[in-house]
Amino acid sequence: MYKVAVIGDNESICGYAALGLETYPVNSAERGKEILRQMVSSDFVIIYITEALAALISEEIERYQDRSRPALILIPGISGNTGMGKRNVKRSVERAVGSDILDLK
Amino acid sequence: MAKLSVNPTRMQLRILKKKLIVAMRGHKLLKDKRDELMRQFLILVRENNVLRQEVENGIRLANASMAIAGNVMQKQVLDVALMLPKQELQIEMEEKNVMSVLIPSYTIKLKTNNTNDIYSYGYAFTSSELDDAIKALSDVFPQMLRLAEVEKSCQLIAAEIEKTRRRVNALEHVIIPQYQETIKYIKMKLDENERGTITRLMKVKDMILAQAHGYNQ
């Protein structure tokens, strides 16, 4: 049995607690890294991260990209959508194909 | 193209020919693998794009309501309202093998099946915007789950495609030409040796004839 977590600033993530996800309010990059590391070694299989936090700890996130778990998924926070999630999709296309061929959208 | 540094012997030639056949078969297989992975990847990544759009819109709606709720209500009240969730969510993960990439698929297990259990508070002291926010989040959650599945799969497949493409290229542009070059070199060398041997034999024959009968041809 695995669990799902949400990390980010408190205002952005407090709603997810009601759905039964585990929320971890984080307000600094160091704390974010620390919590992420702990989560990876325990049984979290999906971790939603707010884009604002992800921007601060991007190299930490990239490290787990090729592992089969956990899945680190970026979500827009309360401060708005930075487009980072979309950029990540684009990046994986570029990685696989060599160039961004899904430009049409 | 650089040839391998091997002894030009019949033995080596035989070994190299075998290796070349294996390399060519491997190249063909890997190329097929790459093509199939690419097909799967493109299907998934299109879905990923659509899902991401949906999820981001859903979360935006939820966040808008949440922002109002946060302003209408006192922060403490909001925190207390969400402090003890009724619902608990767990996940089971299965792995599906697509061309030797293990892509995840998740199924959720909820503690209670009552859909109203997402509201972890009495409605007396909270604003209706909070209800809206949580409803919006719970509506978008299935998509979020699918997004996690699809996006992770995309990342894993992208990594595998990258690896496979390198292997295909290495075989196609380095290993196979190298083997072919070396095989050609050994063949040439052996042929040259053969010709050398023949001329030597002819020469020796001439010498022996000259010795025995005393004449030159």
Separation in Å, CA of A15 to nearest CA in chain B = 6
Rounded Cα–Cα distance for residues A34 and A54 (Å):
13
pLDDT in tens, B148-173: 889 889 889 999 999 999 999 999 99
pLDDT score for A71: 87
- Residue-wise pLDDT tens digits, B47-71: 988 898 888 888 888 888 888 887 8
**Does residue B183 lie in a domain region?**
yes
Please give the residue range of the domain that contains residue B136.
10-83+119-211
Judge: B138–A93 Cβ closer than 8 Å, yes or no: no
Nearest to B87 among A18, A86, A96 (CB): A18
A7 vs chain B: nearest CA distance in angstroms?
15
Interface residue A12 vs chain B (CB under 8 A)? yes
Query: Mean pLDDT for chain B?
Result: 86
Q: How far is B152 from chain A (nearest CA, A)?
A: 6
pTM of the predicted model as reported, rounded to 2 decimal places: 0.83
Contact assignment for B89 to A93 by CB distance below 8 Å: no
CA distance B171 to B23: 7
A82, exposed or middle or buried, with CB in 10 Å at 0-12, 13-18, 19+? middle
**Is B152 a domain residue?**
yes
HSE-up of residue B185 (Cα within 13 Å, Cβ side): 16
- Residue B145 sits in a domain of what CATH number? 1.10.287.3240
* N-terminal to C-terminal alpha carbon distance within chain B: 46
Are A100 and A90 in contact by the 8 Å Cβ rule? The answer is: yes
Distances (CA, A) of B42 to A72, A73, A74, B39, B166: 20, 19, 20, 5, 19
CA-closest candidate to residue B148, choices A95, A88, A36, A1: A88
Average pLDDT over residues B39-45: 91
pLDDT in the model for residue B81: 74
Q: What is the mean pLDDT of residues B136-152?
A: 87
Contact A66, B159 (CB under 8 A): yes
Residue A20 touches partner B, C-beta closer than 8 Å: yes
> Is B36 in the A-facing interface, judged by CB distances under 8 Å?
no
Cβ contact B126:B66 at 8 Å:
no
Residue B103 lies in a domain: no
Domain A3-97 fold: Rossmann fold (3.40.50)
- Whether B85 and A20 lie within 8 Å, measured CB to CB: yes
Within-domain flag for B131: yes
B21 Cα to chain A: minimum distance (Å): 28
**Domains in chain A: boundaries:** 3-97
pLDDT digits (tens, 9 = 90+) for A52-104: 888 888 888 888 888 887 888 888 887 777 888 888 888 888 888 887 776 54
